[in-house]
Structure 1
Amino acid sequence: MERRLTAILSADVVGYSRLMGEDESGTLERLKACRRNLVDPAIAEFHGRIIKLMGDGALVEFASVVDAVQCAAIIQRKMACYDQNTSEEKRIQFRIGVNLGDIIVEGEDIYGDGVNIAARLEGIAQPGGICISGTAFDHAVHKADVGFSSLGEQRLKNLADPVRVYRVLLDPSQAGKVVAAPTRPPRRRLILATLAALLIATAAIVFVWQWPFAPQRPSIAVLPFTNLSGDPGQDYFTDGITDNLITDLARLSDLDVISQNSVFAYKGKPHVLADIKRDLGARFVVEGSVQRTGDQIRVNAQLIDVASGDHLWANRFDRGADVFAVQDEMSRQIAEALGLELTRSETERLARPPTANLEAYDYYLRAEQAARTGRRSRLLEALALFDKAEALDPGFAEAFAADARATAYVWRSAYDDVLQSALARKRAYDKASRALALDPDLSSPYAVLAVIQVVDRRYEPAIASAQQAVSLGPTDAEAYMALAYVQLISGNHAEAVAAVETALRYDPNLSAIDRYTAGLVFYLQRDYTKALDNFERARDGSPGNGEFVTPLALAYVRAGRLDDARAAVAEGVRLQTGRDCLAGWRLGNAHFRKQDLSFILDALREAGLPEWPFGFKGDERDRLNGDEIATTVMGKLLRGKTEPSQSPALMQIGLDGKAATRSATQMMTETVSVNGDLLCEQSENAFGRADCGPVYRRANSPDETGYTYVNSTKVFYFSPVK
């Protein structure tokens, strides 16, 4: 089963049953002619895919919301003057609804709320008119040659939640306008305006009088519970109790919860309430301990008011192996102590165990602990543990979601030695889709899909996925950072800054990779002070990782600190054993807008980052042109050695470009081609992108190799084997 975000157009014929009753054959002929001459060409023009044709309507999928709205507008404008020779009562008219939403794909058909909402919107559209959802409006406004009239939130048939609805204004004179539809008869406006002004004034007086005492949403930090089992091997289980309590409390609508990443910075360290209040902004703290002996679990927990130091609640839970009962009861009692009134759905969700299989749950907790380290060896271990949890319980939605998140981290970090890029992308996409099929209310799978989509340059679906992640996880810092990344790549820098600042409210101690993203956001927004602060925090959060050292040079260059910039580049290159280079940045960030990528590369070039790995520099007088490269390498076995270890390497290239590469550390298949005067390798690594570079003759070679091929990851000295 596949899930994806897409634009859906639903159309039907107004009064179809009446038309068929009055003139069945004539109606069918006119409808077929209308589709053939008008509807089908419009759908083709705007790259739509017809999912199904019903007797009186159609369901069409578009990759772009703007295309869907433009197509609907073209159809309705042309229909207004179509078939003028037919009497008014026999003339065909369409109603159209457009939605951007999540769908389930099975074969050639699509299902889900995304489709249902489009159909309901079509049902409330006027004859000859178009209604679109708020999600579609957000992406089409000012991009389609139409106007919009807001109809506010509407209750649609068989949908639990209201939907923002906009009517499309087809008159060309209204293109680009956004107006609010009147909701009251004009004669009542003066009375209502006067009453509203009085109410606002009264409310303002009350607010000013009560302001020091006005209630605010409580914020809470769940500090890592202490493992009292006497066995460090049980840390994963204790961390799991902390994690799941954070997750349960974060699902409560009236509570702000500090993220897991920030609170785990306190693990194993003494903490002072005043420091927690200052650093995390939390009003309340939960702390506790876990003791696990055999099948027995004892959990002690307490809720503390940070300002006063008062203990508002404390309890001890002794259970057998039913860890889920402990978590449910603890979450509900904390909510009650905070004075929160849980909705029925919140109560039901707290009581719902993530899995009935305790062995699967154990593997899941171990996998989460391994993934949290971010280390390559532990990430490989984590993926194997997730596989075991999912095999034991194929309905374990949280395991699939966590698997998708960890795999996406591997993919985004280009850890091809853990899992090749193409395989990691597919795994992350499949696991996220599976998690949403099992539990559509999960936030993190949408965040994963958003990052994948934006790297694939599917900007509109990426923004919609990220916004859905934020909607489902309103206190989830990872969701906001996914939104920040998507807006950054899409070129919406101000929106990216807003998302970062919101994420920092819920996670003041962002992970290194998120701090790096934040640094790029502020850098492209030209706020170099904040950019440098975030780049420094990324470096400090991942010591010894050269990937987070070189970016410091960006902010240093723009701040005029060229010596510091060159020192940062030198240190980054050293930590990455010479592999860091402009070609690598260019390839790894090819999904950025050209002007943004140029602004990054120009600074790194000024800071002294070399073009090629290991500081390689070729002499242009020795460089081969495209024809010479093809003659030298295509259909040949290339034997030689690679930097930096000078280890032996072979590359077998067929005349058709199919190739295999083998070295002391790597063996892979790929496709080789000549593009202009560059030799290109394309494999399942590097996001599946072609990695291209020049080939040089080796004048005065100290060994038997006659040529050098260089790209973003290698320097290969070789000679064709005769």
Structure 2
Amino acid sequence: MTRPERKLVAVLAADVAGYSRLMGADEAGTLFHLKALRAEVIDPKIAQFRGRLVGTAGDSLLIEFPSAVDALQFAVETQERITAHNTDLPEDRRMAFRMGINAGEVILDETTIYGDCVNVAARLEKVSEPGGVVIGRSVYDQVKGKIPYTLVDLGEHTMKNIAGLVRAYRVQTEERDNREPLALIASAEDLPLPFKPSVAVLPFTNMSVDPKQDYFSDGIAEDLITELSRSQNLFVIARNSSFAFKGRSVNITEVGRKLGVRYVVEGSVRKAAARVRITAQLIESATGNHVWAERYDRDLEDLFAVQDDVTERIAWALVGKVGTAEIVRTRQTQTSLSAYDAFLRGVDAMHRFTEKDTVAGVEFLKLALGREPNSSRTHAWLADAYATLSVFRDDEDMKELAMQSALRAIELGDASGLAEAIVAALHGWKGEFEAAETHWQRALATGPTNPNVLVWVGYICLWGGQLTKAREIGERLRRLSPLEHRDVHELLAFAYYLLGEYEASLDSFRRWDNNNYDRGFANLAACLGQLGRIDEAIRAWGKCLERKPGFTLGDYKRGSPYRRQEDLEHWLDGLRKAGIAD
């Protein structure tokens, strides 16, 4: 018997995510697209990185490379080219590959290869998200420190027909989370259902003639989220993740899987002159069955009564009489339509989270208070707007205005917990952490599932040195808002860093939608400095200087809110390791 020929190689397995769906929708077009990608992108890249195509079957590819670094670089560059190639195509026709890479010994058999190394590569490819790359431990050991990418540990996996556990790593480039929202949703992991009844309220469709009325339909949905969240018996997904589906044709089952909820609410709003039509339906996500549906054609003056009815009917269907009574008891009454309209415009501006939009939000909220001066929730949102603006501008006067508005909201009986959280943050900024804790404890007691409350409280705990608590709140936020990439991952990036978990911190930094926050880039530079990725750290510091020219470590110290000197020194240590001098 002839002894089989063996050699050490890196093996890449790839296939097209959703290939059967693409073929079912347009067989000829899909085949044409696949062939074009092969000819224009994949085959030239194989040649560039000295690879050899050793197997194809339908949409799948098996490629060997002489080194793990070549295989990984091929995968990253090919995925980037495919993403660019897809840009001009409709979303339902875009083709995304999953890729898995393993390294080890293979058996040669004429034109192809065999062995456990090949089998593991194929299994790793199944772990990958569409457009992503996953590598095994053997590849990780060979490429670590040689490539400019983050390798995120996905833990050990049991794989079919593979003896023992296989450790997998996701390859994450700096541009990873600048992807299209649809790709972010598709790549998000499916989540288990919580133990209590769970629901996501999708943004209501604006059926009005004027597209500028989006703020109104969005506000109706957001108010429903707020009201349902008042029940301790319900698990309600936060606004920022529900609204990731805005403007998209959604599959209710997919929404349920990606957000980890049993029920989904969707609806529409048509506002014309003095009339409003609102439709709402409660759907079981796994089956698509309608639990409840209603349409309301009313005078605009009846809007608040319609909102109350929709909330109570949904709550009754999910948690019965007790949960509904809980919502009714804590409901914040609204009396003025013009004040409500201004309030919705203010909140809509706040969600865009820029200095300009925050200023606009302040003006709309002040307008709302001019028409309804005793609205506790409007005072609470105005306090949030002033506090946010104080961060954009480093303005102490804004902090004083925030305190005045927050205290007024508390005096008027704010039931959301937001005003207490703002007061806590303002005390924290002053270094008054005992007073801050008194207020954040009240905020959590009042609004334990309010994302706005959790964000502020998470930061107060971070500043105050309660790092494990800050991480715990960040993880709670991530479950309430699994598709949100701003507040959640900013908090987690900072908390993981101060806990010394630099790889996890970098993972959250990469996921964070930074929105040009100068100190955020400085903190990213510190994290990269701790990991020894000096070139990337210098680039991150350069982005900080682009936003704030002349920024120094002295400025960093002066703007630090940390209670413990050791936490401030921890950040400065990372910056110094990156070569950034005082």
TM-score scaled by length of structure 1: 0.51
Alignment of 1:13-24 (within 5 A): none
The C-alpha deviation readout for 1:422-449, integer Å capped at 9, x for no partner, is 2211111111111111115331111111
Shift of residue 534 of structure 1? 1.7
Aligned equivalents of 1:260, 1:299: Cα separation in 2? 19
- Which of 300, 303, 309 is 2:282 aligned to? 303
Secondary structure in structure 2 of the residue aligned to 1:298:
strand
- Which of 222, 230, 237 is 2:216 aligned to? 237
1:476–1:506 CA contact under 8 A, matched in 2: no
1:477–1:504 CA contact under 8 A, matched in 2: no
Where does residue 13 of structure 2 map in the other structure?
Answer: none
- Which of 511, 523, 534 is 1:562 aligned to? 534
Alignment of 1:601-620 (within 5 A): 601-609=572-580, 611=582
Shift of residue 584 of structure 1? 2.3
2:459–2:491 CA contact under 8 A, matched in 1: yes
Q: Are 2:525 and 1:525 equivalent residues in the alignment?
A: no
Where does residue 587 of structure 1 map in the other structure?
Answer: 558
Where does residue 170 of structure 1 map in the other structure?
Answer: none
Aligned equivalents of 1:514, 1:378: Cα separation in 2? 21
Secondary structure in structure 1 of the residue aligned to 2:335:
coil
One-letter code of the match for 2:521? V
One-letter code of the match for 1:415? R
Alignment of 1:634-649 (within 5 A): none
Aligned equivalents of 1:547, 1:275: Cα separation in 2? 36
2:376–2:414 CA contact under 8 A, matched in 1: no
Structure 1: gaps (5+ residues): 1-213, 612-722
Secondary structure in structure 2 of the residue aligned to 1:291:
strand
Aligned equivalents of 2:450, 2:335: Cα separation in 1? 26
One-letter code of the match for 1:587? R
Q: Are 2:270 and 1:312 equivalent residues in the alignment?
A: no
Assess, with a 3 A threshold, how the Cα gap between structure 1 residues 230 and 349 changes in structure 2: closer, same or farther: farther
Alignment of 1:397-476 (within 5 A): 397-411=376-390, 413-416=391-394, 421-476=395-450
Q: Are 2:318 and 1:338 equivalent residues in the alignment?
A: yes
Assess, with a 3 A threshold, how the Cα gap between structure 1 residues 511 and 364 changes in structure 2: closer, same or farther: farther
Shift of residue 306 of structure 1? 1.5
1:497–1:521 CA contact under 8 A, matched in 2: yes
2:194–2:235 CA contact under 8 A, matched in 1: no
One-letter code of the match for 1:261? N
2:475–2:492 CA contact under 8 A, matched in 1: no
1:379–1:406 CA contact under 8 A, matched in 2: yes
Aligned equivalents of 1:480, 1:270: Cα separation in 2? 31
Secondary structure in structure 2 of the residue aligned to 1:261:
helix
Where does residue 325 of structure 1 map in the other structure?
Answer: 305
Q: Are 2:340 and 1:361 equivalent residues in the alignment?
A: yes
Aligned equivalents of 2:194, 2:404: Cα separation in 1? 43
Where does residue 489 of structure 1 map in the other structure?
Answer: 463
Where does residue 505 of structure 1 map in the other structure?
Answer: 479
One-letter code of the match for 1:554? A
Where does residue 573 of structure 1 map in the other structure?
Answer: 545
Shift of residue 353 of structure 1? 5.7
Alignment of 1:97-116 (within 5 A): none
Secondary structure in structure 1 of the residue aligned to 2:200:
strand
Secondary structure in structure 2 of the residue aligned to 1:601:
helix
Shift of residue 512 of structure 1? 2.3
One-letter code of the match for 1:558? Q
Secondary structure in structure 2 of the residue aligned to 1:446:
helix
Aligned equivalents of 2:299, 2:379: Cα separation in 1? 27
1:258–1:280 CA contact under 8 A, matched in 2: yes
1:403–1:431 CA contact under 8 A, matched in 2: yes
Q: Are 2:199 and 1:220 equivalent residues in the alignment?
A: yes
Shift of residue 470 of structure 1? 1.3
Alignment of 1:702-721 (within 5 A): none
2:231–2:324 CA contact under 8 A, matched in 1: no
Which one has the largest radius of gyration?
A: 1
Aligned equivalents of 1:443, 1:545: Cα separation in 2? 26
Where does residue 122 of structure 2 map in the other structure?
Answer: none
Shift of residue 402 of structure 1? 0.9
- Which of 239, 244, 248 is 1:260 aligned to? 239
1:258–1:506 CA contact under 8 A, matched in 2: yes
- Which of 541, 550, 569 is 1:598 aligned to? 569
Aligned equivalents of 2:346, 2:256: Cα separation in 1? 31
Shift of residue 537 of structure 1? 2.1
The C-alpha deviation readout for 1:186-206, integer Å capped at 9, x for no partner, is xxxxxxxxxxxxxxxxxxxxx
Moved more, 226-235 or 469-478: 469-478
Secondary structure in structure 2 of the residue aligned to 1:483:
helix
Runs of 4+ more than 6 Å apart: none
1:470–1:480 CA contact under 8 A, matched in 2: yes
Aligned equivalents of 2:412, 2:483: Cα separation in 1? 31
Aligned equivalents of 2:534, 2:194: Cα separation in 1? 50
One-letter code of the match for 1:604? L
1:395–1:438 CA contact under 8 A, matched in 2: yes
Secondary structure in structure 1 of the residue aligned to 2:522:
coil
Secondary structure in structure 2 of the residue aligned to 1:338:
helix
Shift of residue 480 of structure 1? 2.3
Q: Are 2:247 and 1:273 equivalent residues in the alignment?
A: no
Alignment of 1:690-705 (within 5 A): none
Aligned equivalents of 1:335, 1:252: Cα separation in 2? 8
Aligned equivalents of 1:215, 1:453: Cα separation in 2? 34
1:286–1:302 CA contact under 8 A, matched in 2: yes
Shift of residue 577 of structure 1? 5.6
1:519–1:531 CA contact under 8 A, matched in 2: yes
Shift of residue 299 of structure 1? 0.8
One-letter code of the match for 1:395? N
Where does residue 480 of structure 1 map in the other structure?
Answer: 454
The C-alpha deviation readout for 1:156-202, integer Å capped at 9, x for no partner, is xxxxxxxxxxxxxxxxxxxxxxxxxxxxxxxxxxxxxxxxxxxxxxx
Secondary structure in structure 2 of the residue aligned to 1:286:
strand
1:217–1:256 CA contact under 8 A, matched in 2: yes
Aligned equivalents of 1:354, 1:328: Cα separation in 2? 10
One-letter code of the match for 2:264? V
Assess, with a 3 A threshold, how the Cα gap between structure 1 residues 577 and 324 changes in structure 2: closer, same or farther: same
1:477–1:502 CA contact under 8 A, matched in 2: no
Secondary structure in structure 2 of the residue aligned to 1:474:
coil
One-letter code of the match for 1:600? W
2:315–2:324 CA contact under 8 A, matched in 1: no
- Which of 373, 386, 390 is 2:369 aligned to? 390
Aligned equivalents of 2:198, 2:581: Cα separation in 1? 47
One-letter code of the match for 1:568? A
The C-alpha deviation readout for 1:384-436, integer Å capped at 9, x for no partner, is 1111111211111111111111111112x2425xxxx2221111111111111
2:338–2:368 CA contact under 8 A, matched in 1: yes
TM-score scaled by length of structure 2: 0.63
The C-alpha deviation readout for 1:261-302, integer Å capped at 9, x for no partner, is 221222223333344234322221111111000111111111
One-letter code of the match for 1:585? Y
Assess, with a 3 A threshold, how the Cα gap between structure 1 residues 310 and 581 changes in structure 2: closer, same or farther: farther
Secondary structure in structure 2 of the residue aligned to 1:342:
helix
Aligned equivalents of 1:569, 1:344: Cα separation in 2? 51
Shift of residue 532 of structure 1? 1.1
Assess, with a 3 A threshold, how the Cα gap between structure 1 residues 357 and 537 changes in structure 2: closer, same or farther: same
One-letter code of the match for 1:583? G
2:197–2:319 CA contact under 8 A, matched in 1: no
